[in-house]
Amino acid sequence: MNTYTQQVNQARILTKNSSRIVAFSGAGVSTESGLSDFRSKGGLWERYRIVTFQEFLASHDNRVEYWSMRRELIPGLLAAKPNPAHHALAKLEAEGKLQCIITQNIDGLHQSAGNKKVIELHGTNMTASCLTCKQQWSIIDIQERLESGDLDPHCDECNGLIKPDTVSFGQSMPVEAMELAYQAAASCDLLFMIGSSLEVQPANQFPLVAHQGGASLIFINRTVTPYDHLATVSFTESASKVMSILTE
Ligand SMILES: [Zn+2]
């Protein structure tokens, strides 16, 4: 029996015997649905500068720059479909074993797969809101406005600025979501860390918190992470491949 088979068997047993599972998903889960990680080379993110939240607020020209990039980004997000890793997590929630997903992804694909308990640390790109009166729109409606040439959309009600419900650079992380995420990680019996290289905060705090709480950890990422030594089992593999096998 090779090491990979042993790892699979061990991870399957852990999954089977755990009843309070929490999953953390990073960009690696989305890339398997064809969405590019903004850190990766090539494509959209290299042609546009990152517009911070403060810059977005500061001028019309900055907002036009911001929305020009979004107008190119949104159709891909809307067309993306959940992959087998998303479906595996939906199955675990349907079985009552998965407590919640903590995600850094903004594409709504966990919800598309059927998960209801999703903590979105970076918000969502599926909706946009007025920064003043909080009225909310589907991103589909906003995309129509962008395509009609309105590259600095304002609220119909109060003329406030409209912005996607994502957490932008320079914007603070949502306090309530962060608290819920830490509580979930601290009280789970098994944490899946999927598709994150764990190089930035707060992602890299969750394995520590879960480990301190006595949970087992299963890591699935294409590359090794600085926290692999905490993992009960770690796979340097595709998330879709491993999650499908573990939840068969
Ligand atoms: Zn408004």
- State the pLDDT at residue 28: 94
Q: Would residue 229 show up in a list of annotated catalytic residues for this protein?
A: no
How open is the CA angle 243-245-246, to the nearest 5 degrees?
65
For 169-212, write each residue's pLDDT tens digit: 899 888 999 999 999 999 999 999 999 998 888 888 999 999 99
Please say if the pLDDT value at position 91 is more than 80: yes
For the chain, what percent of residues have pLDDT higher than 70?
A: 96
**Ligand 1 centroid to residue 88 C-alpha, Å:** 39
- State the pLDDT at residue 47: 78
**Ligand 1 centroid to residue 166 C-alpha, Å:** 17
- State the pLDDT at residue 203: 81
**Ligand 1 centroid to residue 136 C-alpha, Å:** 9
**Average pLDDT, whole number, for the chain?**
94
For 48-62, write each residue's pLDDT tens digit: 888 999 999 999 999
**Ligand 1 centroid to residue 161 C-alpha, Å:** 7
Using CA atoms, how far apart are residues 198 and 24, in angstroms rounded to an integer? 11
Please give the structure tokens belonging to residue 206.
């969750």
- State the pLDDT at residue 40: 60
For the chain, what percent of residues have pLDDT higher than 90?
A: 85
Given the residues 122, 154, 211, 229, the one annotated as active site: 122
Please say if the pLDDT value at position 79 is more than 80: yes
- How far, in Å, are 16, 125, 246 from residue 52 at the CA level? 44, 16, 40
Using CA atoms, how far apart are residues 226 and 150, in angstroms rounded to an integer? 44
For 6-63, write each residue's pLDDT tens digit: 999 999 999 999 999 999 999 999 999 998 766 566 666 677 888 999 999 999 999 9
Provide the pLDDT confidence category of residue 166 given band limits of 50, 70 and 90. very high
